[in-house]
Amino acid sequence: MKIAIVCYPTFGGSGVIATEMGLSLASKGIEVHFITYKHPVRLDVLSSKVYFHEVHVPEYPLFHFQPYELALSSKLVDTVQKFKIDLLHVHYAIPHAYAAYMAKKMLAEKGIKIPLVTTLHGTDITLVGSHPFYKSAVTFSINNSDYVTSVSKSLKEQTINFFNINKEISVIPNFVDFSRHQDHSESCDRSSIAPDNFKILTHVSNFRPVKRVLDVVKVFEKVFQKIPSKLIMVGDGPDKIIAENYCLNKEIQNHVIFLGNTSDVYEVLCYSDLFLLTSETESFGLAALEAMMMSVPVISTNTGGLPEVNIENESGFLFKVGDIEGMSRKSIDLLASSKLLNQMKASARNTALKFNIDNVIDSYLEIYKKAINRIN
């Protein structure tokens, strides 16, 4: 089987999941072709079964915005023909499913039939897709895919409620690969981050307004008043400067570390005692799941798909959006008790095991086989 995967190559959840999925498929002997505008950040494995095809978009003064969708469609057509691809799997409804549909129609005129699987990740539905300018294109892209998957029940319900969908949507959750990311505890040197008696809290995101990173810092501020601690902020985005300025104004800047983006978030998570995720909405919450895999309990909001991942009193605790007091109190209680903290660390990792890639990838393979058989 030969699969072409289209995704964003960035640090966001959809690109991470698409890359990890492709590498797992390759380990099972499936030939995987990544097609995007630059090398995916998590594509760090050399394999005879893994290919990367860069989409080049020539710049012409005629175009105010360069036509990436057209370049992607053409690249898909060329790759399918050259490598005899069996199936297209695109992550994000727009522009990827839209471009893939155009490629599919162009290939059909050449007598080549190829199935299209679209995975919905969140902002393609909740933010971009909900905009009136894009709603028709998103609806069209979903309905003209052969199979559609969603990363959470919450996102599936949002999609059905907001768009006029006539296509069945299968829920296949995001995952983590325990085999590729083993426990770092033996090699983890916490002393490089904080003194031995300090607790380390961590947040990972793209620092967009929906992540409410200022709430993360405010929770930490209250924790720091009671518990010697440090906060590690991983990622970059428009609200980073707001968080940095708040730390300066509150004179806690020496206790908050802004690391920027990193391709090895697990190296950071191995230092951590507690993970904070205060988002306005999350379609799934991959960052929380990655923390849980590294034995880090999670304090998060209860929005979107987060309750499907962060299980109350098992992997962490859930709070209403903006409940800084509640999140702070629970963080302090957890960090103040070594016994309780160690119990929650072990429980968080056990919960994450349910989302191990081996328990998820077979669901995608089943859909692939159905899609390929359907057109033959």
Position 299: which residue type?
I
88 and 146 Cβ atoms separated by less than 8 Å: no
What pLDDT score does 94 carry?
Answer: 80
Question: Closest by alpha carbon to 319, among 212, 167, 207?
Answer: 212
CA angle 71, 74, 76 (to 5 degrees): 110
* C-alpha to C-alpha distance for 126 and 303, rounded to whole angstroms: 13
Which DSSP category does 97 fall into?
I
What pLDDT score does 184 carry?
Answer: 56
Token representation of residue 68 = 């990436």
Query: Whole-angstrom distance between the N-terminal and C-terminal Cα of the chain?
Result: 14
- Looking at the predicted structure, is the pLDDT value of residue 35 above 80? yes
Question: Closest by alpha carbon to 290, among 178, 194, 214?
Answer: 178
Q: What is the pLDDT of residues 16-26, one digit of tens each?
A: 889 889 999 99
316 and 334 Cβ atoms separated by less than 8 Å: no
Domain 185-353 sits in CATH 3.65.10.10: no
Residue corresponding to tokens 């720091």: 224
Q: Mean pLDDT check: name the lowest of 87-101, 126-140, 253-267.
A: 126-140
Please list the residue range(s) of the chain that carry CATH number 3.40.50.2000. Answer: 2-175+357-375, 185-353
**In the predicted model, what is the mean pLDDT of residues 324-348?**
97
- Looking at the predicted structure, is the pLDDT value of residue 52 above 80? yes
H helices, E strands: number in the chain: 14, 13
Question: Closest by alpha carbon to 99, among 52, 65, 140?
Answer: 140
292 and 349 Cβ atoms separated by less than 8 Å: yes
Q: Omega before 95 cis (within 30°)?
A: yes
> Given this structure, which CATH class describes domain 2-175+357-375?
alpha beta
- Looking at the predicted structure, is the pLDDT value of residue 182 above 70? no
Q: Helix 324-336 and helix 213-226: axis angle, to 10°?
A: 40
What pLDDT score does 63 carry?
Answer: 74
Which pLDDT band holds residue 285 (cuts at 50, 70, 90)? very high
What pLDDT score does 58 carry?
Answer: 79
What pLDDT score does 134 carry?
Answer: 79
- Looking at the predicted structure, is the pLDDT value of residue 139 above 70? yes
Which pLDDT band holds residue 75 (cuts at 50, 70, 90)? very high
Which pLDDT band holds residue 297 (cuts at 50, 70, 90)? very high
What pLDDT score does 127 carry?
Answer: 62
333 and 340 Cβ atoms separated by less than 8 Å: yes
What pLDDT score does 267 carry?
Answer: 87
Q: What is the pLDDT of residues 344-374, one digit of tens each?
A: 999 999 999 999 998 899 999 999 999 999 8
Residue that wins the pLDDT comparison between 376 and 72: 72
Which pLDDT band holds residue 65 (cuts at 50, 70, 90)? confident
**What mean pLDDT value characterizes the chain?**
91
What pLDDT score does 148 carry?
Answer: 96
Provide the H-helix boundaries in the chain: 13-27, 68-83, 98-109, 123-126, 135-143, 153-162, 213-226, 240-249, 265-269, 286-293, 306-309, 324-336, 338-353, 361-375
Which pLDDT band holds residue 299 (cuts at 50, 70, 90)? very high
* C-alpha to C-alpha distance for 119 and 142, rounded to whole angstroms: 9
CA angle 68, 21, 112 (to 5 degrees): 55
* C-alpha to C-alpha distance for 41 and 66, rounded to whole angstroms: 23
| CA distances to 32, 57, 164, 248 from 15, in Å | 15, 20, 27, 33
What pLDDT score does 363 carry?
Answer: 94
What pLDDT score does 4 carry?
Answer: 97
Give all strands (DSSP E) within 111-211, no chain letters.
116-120, 147-150, 169-171, 199-204
331 and 223 Cβ atoms separated by less than 8 Å: yes
- Looking at the predicted structure, is the pLDDT value of residue 81 above 70? yes
What pLDDT score does 186 carry?
Answer: 60
Q: What is the pLDDT of residues 142-161, one digit of tens each?
A: 999 999 999 999 999 999 98
Which pLDDT band holds residue 11 (cuts at 50, 70, 90)? low
In this prediction the pTM is 0.89
Residues 6+ apart with CB under 8 A from 336: 226, 227
What pLDDT score does 286 carry?
Answer: 92
What pLDDT score does 260 carry?
Answer: 93
What pLDDT score does 1 carry?
Answer: 94
**In the predicted model, what is the mean pLDDT of residues 213-235?**
97
128 and 163 Cβ atoms separated by less than 8 Å: no
Phi-psi region of 233 (alpha: psi -120 to 50; beta: other; left: phi over 0): beta
